[in-house]
Structure 1
Amino acid sequence: MPDTVSFGYEDIAPEEKTARVGEVFSSVASKYDLMNDAMSGGLHRLWKDLFVRRVKPRAGEHILDMAGGTGDIAFRMAPSGAAITVADINPEMLAVGVERAAQRGIDGLVWSEANAETLIFPDRFFDAYTIAFGIRNVTDIPKALREAHRVLKRGGRFYVLEFSTTQWPGFGQVYDAYSHHLVPRLGKLLANDADSYRYLIESIRRFPPMPAFEAMIRDAGFTQTRVEPLLGGLVAIHSGWKI
């Protein structure tokens, strides 16, 4: 673990990042959909649909959806009949998810307050592990990846949906201008919180590029790793297997 880690464009102590990221998500929890719509132009809904199709949840499986507090991924997987545990470090995010599940009449989900770096679940317990737009906010990403590997059964699959860096010529500059200048203003307008939205955009820029993150997944013990870029890599689906 390095002496400092990134918090947006700042370099801060690891223990400080955990607390400050917690503050960000406590602030935006009630505006989660607006936040994602602002950051993706509404496309996050389509990306999450595709992500769940790649995961292929099945009845009888045990699946851990990490950093999934508001339920977006779990709600999409629930019709499969899989036993889904929704875990998040932030209790405010979990509270939003529990409320949304009740409004949708979705029963049977397990809600757990948990840190991705120090999971409370036993070894080789889950058939699949998913994390959507959450891994870049983890303080010690390699440790969280090792924990994901630990709690998966042999033959278990690992899926990450995360923002990355688009490789389409010209599009990256357009998105940078939109995200850096307009998204914080939308955060101020929609949630009276420009700073949290600014951090979330900056955190994307500090996240490792696709090949580097795939290498981190392999280093954690996963095999048959794969990257599926969307919009030229603006977002990517990363996957791997535990064998």
Structure 2
Amino acid sequence: MSDQVNFGDAVVSPEEKTRRVGQVFSSVARRYDVMNDLMSGGMHRLWKDRFVNRVKPRTGEHVLDMAGGTGDIAFRMAKRGAQVTVSDINADMLAVGMERARERGLEGLSWKQENAESLSFGDAQFDAYTIAFGIRNVTDIPAALRQAHRVLRHGGRFFCLEFSTSDWPGFAEIYELYADKMIPRIGKAVARDEDSYRYLVESIRRFPKPEAFKRMIGEAGFAQTGYETIFGGLVCIHSGWKI
């Protein structure tokens, strides 16, 4: 891994990026879901529904939801009968998720603080690995993908929901302007944290394009890799299988 990485548009050491990302999510944890609604006009709920439909969690399956924080994906999968372990590097995000689960009367979820780059789980523990809007915040993405492959059983599936950049003429330019000018302002007004949301916008721009990320998933050992675009590529569902 390089001794310098991007934290948004800034160039920092890997250790500094991990520390700063932790600060970002500790700062926004309590307002994270409200901000998601405001930034996406509620569309993130539909994207997550579509994502879980692609994962097809089944009764009795063991699923690792990495960067699962506030529980949005885990709750949907648990309702379908899957046994879900929710993991996140950030304890504040997990605390919000556990509180939300209690409020909804959802039991049976496991919660564990984990670094996606160095999971403590044994080999071949899970039937599916999911990560939604989290992989771009990982310092060493190839390491996280290799760990995902390691903890999956033979025939297990990897699914990732992540932002990218839209290629729709007109819409792409409008979204870029909105992301640049409005999202940090919304973050300042609602979450009282303009800088964290400026980082999140920058991190989306620096995330690999769909074809490049597909190659990275394949290089981690996954087969039958592919992706589905939403909103002309603004959001992508990536997938791969361990065979």
TM-score by length of structure 2 reads 0.99
Contact 1:38 1:183 in 2 (8 A): no
2: CA distance, partners of 1:195 / 1:34: 17
Q: How does 1:157-172 map to 2 (within 5 A)?
A: 157-172=157-172
Q: CA deviation at 1:11?
A: 1.2
Which residue of 2 is the match for residue 140 of structure 1? 140
Deviations 1:141-188 (A, max 9, x none): 000000000000010000000000111112111001001100111111
* Secondary structure at the counterpart of residue 162 of structure 1: strand
What amino acid does structure 2 have at the position aligned with 1:94? Answer: L
Q: CA deviation at 1:35?
A: 2.3
TM-score by length of structure 1 reads 0.99
Which residue of 2 is the match for residue 100 of structure 1? 100
Which residue of 2 is the match for residue 32 of structure 1? 32
Deviations 1:69-92 (A, max 9, x none): 100000111111111000000000
Q: How does 1:64-83 map to 2 (within 5 A)?
A: 64-83=64-83
What amino acid does structure 2 have at the position aligned with 1:126? Answer: F
Matched length: 243
Q: CA deviation at 1:199?
A: 0.5
Q: How does 1:1-243 map to 2 (within 5 A)?
A: 1-243=1-243
Contact 1:39 1:201 in 2 (8 A): no
What amino acid does structure 1 have at the position aligned with 2:140? Answer: D
2: CA distance, partners of 1:5 / 1:38: 30
What amino acid does structure 2 have at the position aligned with 1:86? Answer: V
2: CA distance, partners of 1:121 / 1:218: 22
Unaligned runs of 5+ in 2: none
